[in-house]
Structure formats: C-alpha cells, structure tokens
C-alpha cells in the first residue's frame, strides 16, 4: 500500500504542475486524500475549475478548457462565451442556442449586436473569438441581400457621409448591387454600389466636377 502524501508534498506537486501549464490554485484547501479537489484557474483563458490531487499527480494535462475537456452543457457554453469574449466585442451578446443542435465547439449560436440590433448565426465558438471583426453590420461585412436590407439601411442612415438610399432597393442581392442615393447637402441624386454606401466611401460626382472646374478657372484667370 502506497504511503499517503503529506500536505507539503501535495502542494509541491500542484505548484510544479501549475507552473508548467500557466495555472494558479487556492492553497488553503483541506487535504484529506488523493481525491481531494483543488480550486484552480487558468491564466490564459481565465477558466475556473476543480481538479483532484490525483489528477495533478497522474493526469497532468493543464487547463480543461484549453485542452477541450470541458463537459458540454448550456450553462458551460454560455459561461464560456462571455468569458472568452474579447474587449472589442462587448457589444455582442448570445441571443439563443437552438435546442435541436447538439452541443459542442460547432454548436449553432445566434448572436446579436447591441449597437445596431443585427442578428446572425455562428457555428464555431472557438473560431469566432479568433476573428478580428465583430458585428457583420457595423464592420461592413454583412451579406448584401433582401433579408439584411433593413439593417443596412439603418446603418447607412447613421454614417457621417449624409446620404440617403432612395431607390432600386429591390435589386440588392450582392455587394456591387446599384442603388439610387441622394446627397443631403447638395440634393443631387446618383447611382452608387451598396458596398460603397455601407463603407461610407461615397461623394457626389457632380459636386466634385464643379469644384474641379472652379479651381481650374481660378488658376487660368
């Protein structure tokens, strides 16, 4: 029969394991036997979990989340979503998780943006947080179709470019679809691509031509 580990020996084993795997633990636990659980936290992903002394000694695998060993449940998935959400995506919330989908890394998630109200689906929680962009509508990466048109119109209306889309909305099906826009400052109307409208990269061609001729006339005179 193996000798029971002392508290000092246990602390030494846990400390060495935590150093190897970037973990921290709560040292003031009551040690009874090798099955005693210790509160642990990952310094990389901030996941908090409990591990037994046995696990530290014989199954030294590190963080359960980083190694994909978290049991999948609605509660764990929601906690994981908000814990892993980076600072530049705090406007994005988890709207719902369809019950008919099996839980896992590729569970279908329904997300929503608190700034513009746009909702969209995402299939991989790990892959989503690796991406640099946030809301597809706010970042101009939205799919240009009739379904998303209300969100596109709302977003364009808030841009500093001072344009209003007034026609050919029923023709929007891709990012280069042409729409009729009106420039609020000059009142001129013109045809522009929906992609340029969302990017805010639009200017009145007629006004630009008039300014060019004005500069040339001043120079020649």
92 within some domain: yes
190 within some domain: yes
Question: 37 and 78 share a domain?
Answer: no
| Segment 79-118, tens digit of pLDDT | 877 887 777 778 888 887 666 555 666 677 788 888 878 8
- How far is the C-alpha of 56 from the C-alpha of 58, rounded, in Å? 6
| Mean pLDDT to the nearest integer, 130-134 | 66
- How far is the C-alpha of 68 from the C-alpha of 80, rounded, in Å? 12
18 within some domain: yes
Q: How confident is the model at residue 221 (pLDDT cuts 50, 70, 90)?
A: very low
Q: Please report, rounded to a whole number, the percentage of residues in the chain having pLDDT higher than 90.
A: 0
pTM of the model: 0.54
139 within some domain: no
105 within some domain: yes
Question: 79 and 125 share a domain?
Answer: yes
Q: How confident is the model at residue 132 (pLDDT cuts 50, 70, 90)?
A: low
- Cβ neighbours, 10 Å, residue 65: 19
Question: 80 and 53 share a domain?
Answer: no
pLDDT, averaged across the chain = 78
Q: How confident is the model at residue 125 (pLDDT cuts 50, 70, 90)?
A: low
Distances in Å between the alpha carbon of 203 and those of 106, 140, 149, 178, 192? 42, 18, 22, 15, 9
Q: Is the pLDDT of residue 48 over 50?
A: yes
**pLDDT the model gives residue 127:** 63
135 within some domain: no
144 within some domain: no
Helices (H), the chain: 7-21, 53-58, 74-84, 125-130, 149-157, 194-199, 205-220
How many domains are contained in the chain?
Answer: 3
DSSP code per residue over 23-72: EEE-------STT-EEEEEETTT--EEEEEHHHHHH-----TTTTT-SPP
202 within some domain: yes
Domain residues for the domain of 92 are: 74-130
Question: 202 and 169 share a domain?
Answer: yes
């Amino acid at each position: 029969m193996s000798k029971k580990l002392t508290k000092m020996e246990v602390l030494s084993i846990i400390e060495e394991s935590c150093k190897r795997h970037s973990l921290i633990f709560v040292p003031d636990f009551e040690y009874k036997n090798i099955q005693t659980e210790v509160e642990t936290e990952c310094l990389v992903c901030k996941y908090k979990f409990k591990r037994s002394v046995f696990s530290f000694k014989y199954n030294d695998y590190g963080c359960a989340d980083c190694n994909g060993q978290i049991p999948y449940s609605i509660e764990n998935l929601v906690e994981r979503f908000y814990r892993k959400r980076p600072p530049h995506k705090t406007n994005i919330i988890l709207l719902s998780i369809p019950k008919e989908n099996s839980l896992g890394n590729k569970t279908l998630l329904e997300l929503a943006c608190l700034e513009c109200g746009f909702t969209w689906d995402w299939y991989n929680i790990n892959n989503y947080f690796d991406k640099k962009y946030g809301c597809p509508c706010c970042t101009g990466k939205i799919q240009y179709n009739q379904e998303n048109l209300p969100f596109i119109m709302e977003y364009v209306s808030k841009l500093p470019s001072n344009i209003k889309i007034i026609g050919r909305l029923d023709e929007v099906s891709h990012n280069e679809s042409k729409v009729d826009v009106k420039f609020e400052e000059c009142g001129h109307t013109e045809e522009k691509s929906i992609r340029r409208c969302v990017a805010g990269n639009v200017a009145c061609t007629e006004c630009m031509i008039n300014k060019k001729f004005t500069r040339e006339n001043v120079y020649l005179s």
